[in-house]
Structure 1
Amino acid sequence: MAALGVRKRARPWGTVYDSITKQPLDPAVVVLYDLNGREITTSITDLDGRFGFLVQPGVYKVVPHKTNYTFASEKLSGKSRDELYHDLYFGDYFEVKEESQVIARNLPMDPVKFDWNEFAKNKQKLMKFYSRRDRILARVTTIFFFFGFFVALAAVLSIPKTYNIVIFSLYLVLVFIRRVGLKTRAFGQVTDSEGNPLSFSLIKVFSADLKNQITQRATDKYGRYFCLVPNGSYCVTIERKLEDGSYTQIFASEPISINAGIIKKDFKVGLPIELPANDSSAKLGE
């Protein structure tokens, strides 16, 4: 598919990146605003410039901030994609219509000054998800794709035989796939043993030896969460929110291997039995 110029599955996150070099920007602070201009939440990009917001239906705007860079990009203004990134975003308000949708737009920023931090990272080749090879391959496959498309178009116009029509129709399908990408689910969900969502629970991610906490996320009212992590091995604990606002741990996973940069596993948790406080059998251990 790549040889035909068709993108891989759309990555389930957004990326803040340099509009010229196409390299991800880290750290950048990404702020989510509602229609009234009220700040909803913020996210700090990781080493690969990644971020994402799990939101409910509404109207939103996203603004990234990074020293020595400016947004919205003027160099890519008016474009919906470039060599590596699709669904480019330039600061307009947009509407989210689906429940628990992940905002994962790609945000190009124009450099205004030389940034030693980005220069050092590029030199050390610290980025994991895109490389110079990816950029070259994207350009080459795009050239081959459109060359084949116009050859197929010329063939169907000059010799409108069945096989030429079929080939051109396949190219039209590929154009559509290339345009919209192949989407994948970007979130995981926490439910109890009966499938009921565990709303507003805490998900904590630890290194595999449980010595260092890497990050934590809270589930939404549907028990869904969005969690980006570097590739590696992790353990996950889940804490249920109690009526008094405190949390109690109800689950701890075995080590989970992550090789796609995101945890989106569904966890089904068996909850401890809660007996009424005035139940004498609970007190007697019967």
Structure 2
Amino acid sequence: MTDLFVRRWMTDQQRAGYSLCLILDPEHENDICQSLLNASPIEQYLSVYEGTAITDLANAGPFIFTLDQPGDRRIDGLLEHPQRNWGWLASLPKGDLPNLAKHWRERLLIGPRAHQALYRFHDNRVLARALEQLPADALPAYLGPVISVCCWDGAGWKITDNPAPGTYPVPNEPLWLRTSTCAWQAMQIRLINAHRYLLAEHVKAYADLAGQHDPDAWIRDRLTQADAWGWHAPEQVEFLLVQSLQAPAYTLEAYWQARADETPARHFERVYSLQGFGKRQTSL
């Protein structure tokens, strides 16, 4: 059983004197997350989004729990089903839980201030891709106080040791933001970020949509349409999502379709203007 591999790693880390911690995405593991929250002393867990610019998403965002024992039965369901992509495991120096939360809080938001996105460090697929591609000398700034990571990469459990655990500033050009991502993984990240944006900024309209459509399928269709039109900039995708959400019967008017002689930029400017927002400043 693959979970025996993880239990052995957990035992080795505890015997070395380190704390064990679980980085958990509660989005699809809410029951397990609530069980851990109810059974854990307050000093043994943290919400990573708490106290940040996205603190309103604190309950939906990742939690970090410290685990007392390698044989903790509360996480059996997670270890037996790693394909649910619930997060990952790490070892830390004793008492370093607050430092780990601070480390990832400093790396949460990426991109220009006006168009920031969330870096999904808690997604084991994102972490595994970065760990696979980063050179060894970039690992300390990426993993911070983490001593060792045990992570499901889609095919099996992988262990990565941090060569120099500690406290590091965020590099000006983080290498982990340059790692390549498969198309499916990239779409999953975009879906989750779009979902959280609509939940935070347009919750009533989004709830109304969910009463008539599968939100994941609806967002996927919008993102696919944005790709087909060549609308890749964050403001273009945001515009398409919000206007589609507000359109009668969630159906855009015919003038939204691209013309044969239009570049993606001119197409966007035309639709933006026809939607009543006026002419945007453009270098075209």
TM-score by length of 1: 0.25
TM-score, normalized by length of structure 2?
A: 0.25
Structure with the bigger percentage of strand: 1
Q: Answer 1 or 2: which has greater helix percent.
A: 2
